[in-house]
Amino acid sequence: MFSSKLVKNILIKPLYNHFTAGESIKTLQNKIIELNTQKLYPIADYIKEFSKNDQDIKKSFHEYLNLANVKELDYIAIKLSTFNFDYNLINTLICYFLATNKKILIDAEEVLYQDKINDMTNSYIEKYNKNNIHIYKTYQMYRKDGMKTLENDLNNFTNVGIKLVRGAYLKADSPSGLLFKTKKETDMSYISGVDLIFDKLNNSKTIKSFICTHNSYNIKQMIKRYNKELHKDKIYHASLYGFIKEDTQKIIQSEIKTYKYLPYGNIEDAVPYLTRRIYENPKILRYCL
C-alpha cells in the first residue's frame, strides 16, 4: 500500500506542477506574465472546492477578494460549492468583482448540485446582466438537457454569457441517467451547441461565449465559422493550462482571443481537480515520469 506522502510526491506533485499556476497569487501573477508573452489570456480559478466548514469558506472568500485585485486579469472562475451555496456571500463577492472590473464564470459541478447552481446562476444573471455581460453560465453538453437549457437561456435572457463545455464530472454523474450514453452523442450535442451560438450571433443576439474544448475537430470548426468582423469580442476559446499546445497556436493565429484556465492554490486542494483530469485523459500521467 502506497503512503499518502509517496502518492503526493510521485503522482500528484508532477501533475500539479505541470497543470496549475502554483500555490499562491504571486505564482499566479508570474504565470499570467508568461501567458501574455504568448498572446494568451488568463482565467483565474482558485482550486479549493467543497468547503468543509466556516473556516474554509472564510479563507476562500478572502482569497477571492485578493484575486479580484490582480492586474492583467479580466475573468475569474468560481465554484458555488466553495461557499457552500451561500447566496448572499456569493452575491457580496460578485459585487466586489464587478467593482474591480472583473467578470465571473460560474462553473458547473456534479449533477447532485447542478439544479441549485443553475437556479442561483440564473438569479445572478437577471440581476447583473441587464446592461452588459458580467456573469457567464456553464452549459454541460454531455447532459441530455444541455441543449434545451442553452436554447431556453438564449431565448429568455437579454444578455447571455456562455461557457460551453462537454462536462467534467463523468465518473460522478454517469449513474444519474442524465448523461448521454456514448461519446458520439456528446460530440453531436457539443457541435449543435457551437452551431446554435454562431447562428444566434449572426442574428445579432447579445451573446459572448467561451468555446471550451480540447477537441481538434471542434477547434477546426470554430475557426472555420469565425468571422473576424462579426465575431470579434464575442467568441473566445478557453482551455486548461498545460493542454493542447499545437491547437492553441492555431487558434491564436486565427485571431480568436485565446484563454487558459489557471487553477492555483494548495497542492492538497488540487486532488479533485487533478483526479478529474486523469479520469478524462489518462495520457496526462506521462507527466509523472
- Residue 123 identity (one-letter amino acid): S
Q: What average pLDDT is seen over the chain?
A: 91
CB 140 within 8 A of CB 165: yes
Burial of 261 (0-12, 13-18, 19+ CB in 10 A): buried
Q: Which domains does the chain have, with CATH numbers?
A: 21-264 (3.20.20.220)
What 8-state DSSP symbol labels residue 257? Answer: E
* Residue 148 bridge partners (DSSP): none
CB 130 within 8 A of CB 157: no
Residue 68 neighbours by CB distance under 10 Å: 18
Residue 232 neighbours by CB distance under 10 Å: 12
Quote the pTM value. Answer: 0.92
In 3-state terms the chain splits into helix, strand, coil percentages (rounded to 5) of: 55, 15, 30
Average pLDDT on 157-178 reads 94
- Over residues 222-280, the pLDDT tens digits come to 999 999 989 999 999 999 998 898 999 999 999 999 999 999 999 988 888 888 887 77
Query: What span, in angstroms and rounded, lies between the C-alpha atoms of 61 and 200?
Result: 36
